[in-house]
Structure 1
Amino acid sequence: MSVKEVNGGYVIDFTLNHERFRETIPAPHNKTAAKRIEEQEAIYKMAISLNDKSIASRFPNSKIIQKAFDTGCNYTIHDYSNIWFKQKQRNWSHTTIRGYSQKYNSYIKPNWGDLLLTEFKASMFDEWAAFSSLSAKSINETRNILKQIFIRAMNDGVISKNPANLIERYKQHCKEPKPFTASEISLILKHLQTPYAQFFQFAFYTGLRTGELLGLRWEDVDLSKRLVHIRVSITSGIEKPPKTNGSIRTVELHSMAVEALNTLKRTEFVDLKRVFIDPRTMKEYKYADGLRKYVWKPALTKINIPYRCPYQCRHTYASMMLSEGKNPLWVAKQMGHADWGMIRKTYGRWLDPNK
Structure 2
Amino acid sequence: MGNISVRSNMLVLEFRAQGLRCREQTKLVDTPANRKRMEKLLKVIEAEIMLNTFDFCKYFPNSKRAAKFIEIQERKQTASNYFNSTDAPTVKEFSVIWFNEKAIEWRQSHKESIEGILESHIIPAFGKMKISVIKKQDILTFRAALAKVQTRTKKTLSTSRINHIMTPLRMMLNEAADRYEFTTPWKNIKALKVPRTEVNPFSLNEVERLIKTAPEDFKPYYTVRFFTGLRTGEIDGLHWDKVDLDKKQIYIDQSLVKGVMTEAKTDGSNRVIQLTDRVVEALKIQMKMTKHLGPFVFCKKDGKPFNYQTISRVIWEPMLQRLKFKYRNPYQTRHTFATLLLAAGESPEWIAQQMGHSTTTMLFRVYSRYVPNLTRQDGSAFDRYIETQGENNA
Superposition TM-score, scaled by structure 2 size: 0.70
Q: Counterparts in 2 of 1:213-292, with a 5 A limit?
A: 213-267=235-289, 270-278=292-300, 281-292=301-312
Cα distance per residue 1:253-296 (max 9 Å; x no partner) = 12321121122234466545222121xx3313152122111111
Secondary structure, aligned partner of 2:104: helix
The 2-side partners of 1:67 and 1:184 are apart by: 65
Please state whether the residue corresponding to 2:264 is helix, strand or coil: coil
Q: Is the 8 A contact 1:223 1:258 kept in 2?
A: yes
Of residues 54, 57, 76, the one that matches 1:14 is 57
Corresponding residue for 1:339? 359
Which structure is richer in relative contact order (CA contacts within 8 A, separation 6 or more)? 1
Matched residue SS, 1:250: strand
Indicate the RMSD between aligned Cα atoms, in angstroms: 2.7
Counterpart in the other structure of 1:35? none
Counterpart mapping for 1:182-201 below 5 A: 182-201=204-223
Residue 165, structure 1, aligned to residue 187, structure 2: yes
> Which ranges in structure 1 are unaligned for 5 or more consecutive residues?
1-12, 26-43, 45-61
Deviations for 1:152-199, whole angstroms, at most 9, x for unmatched residues?
Answer: 2134x2133322233121111124311112222122211222321100
Aligned to 1:308: 328
Aligned counterpart, 2:176: 153
2:141 corresponds to: 127
Please, which runs of 5 or more residues in structure 2 have no aligned partner?
1-55, 149-156, 376-380, 382-393
Q: How does 1:85-100 map to 2 (within 5 A)?
A: 85-100=99-114
- Closer, same or farther: CA 303–350 of 1 in aligned 2, 3 Å: closer
Aligned partners of 1:198 and 1:263 also within 8 Å: yes
Instruction: Tell me the CA shift for residue 115 of structure 1.
Output: 2.1
Aligned pair 1:23/2:67, yes or no?
yes
Which residue matches 2:47? none
Off by >6 Å, runs of 4+ in structure 1: none
Find the aligned partners of 2:292 and 2:186 in 1 and give their Cα distance.
52
Whole-Å separation in 2 of the counterparts to 1:63 and 1:265: 67
Q: CA deviation at 1:143?
A: 2.2
Which residue of 2 is the match for residue 350 of structure 1? Answer: 370
Moved more, 268-277 or 297-306: 268-277
> Counterpart amino acid of 1:183?
N
3-state SS of paired residue (1:228): strand
Q: Distance in 1 between matches of 2:143 and 2:323?
A: 40
Kindly indicate whether the alpha-carbon contact (under 8 Å) linking 2:290 and 2:298 is maintained by their aligned counterparts in 1.
Answer: no
AA at the equivalent of 1:114: K
CA distance in 1: counterparts of 2:235 and 2:318, whole angstroms: 21
TM-score of the aligned structures, taking structure 1 as reference length: 0.77
How has the CA–CA distance of structure 1 residues 24 and 310 changed in structure 2, closer, same or farther, with 3 Å as cutoff?
same
Q: Displacement, 1:200? A: 0.8
Whether the 8 Å CA contact 1:229–1:251 is kept in 2: the answer is yes
Give the aligned residue type for 2:95: S
Give yes or no for contact 1:214–1:284 (8 Å, CA) kept in 2: no
- CA shift, 1:141, in A, is 1.5
Structure 1 residues 166, 182: CA separation in 2 closer, same or farther (over 3 Å shift)? same
CA distance in 2, matches of 1:296, 1:340: 30
Cα distance, 1:154–1:302 mapped onto 2, change above 3 Å: same
1:113 corresponds in structure 2 to 127
Q: Distance in 2 between matches of 1:79 and 1:177?
A: 41
- Which position in structure 1 is the counterpart of 2:44? none
Check 1:269–1:293 CA distance in 2 against 1; reply closer, same or farther (3 A cut): farther
Residues in 1 aligned to 2:186 and 2:271: alpha-carbon distance in whole angstroms: 37
CA pair 159-256 structure 1, distance change in 2 beyond 3 A: farther
CA, structure 1 residues 100+291, in 2 after alignment: closer, same or farther (shift >3 Å)? same
How many pairs were matched up? Answer: 304
Greater CA drift, 308-317 or 100-109: 100-109
Report the Cα distance in structure 2 between the residues aligned to 1:269 and 1:22, rounded to whole angstroms: 73
2: distance between equivalents of 1:105 and 1:115?
Answer: 15
Question: Closer, same or farther in 2 for the Cα pair 1:199/1:76, shift >3 Å?
Answer: same
8 Å CA contact 1:117, 1:159 repeated in 2: no
Identical-pair percentage: 27
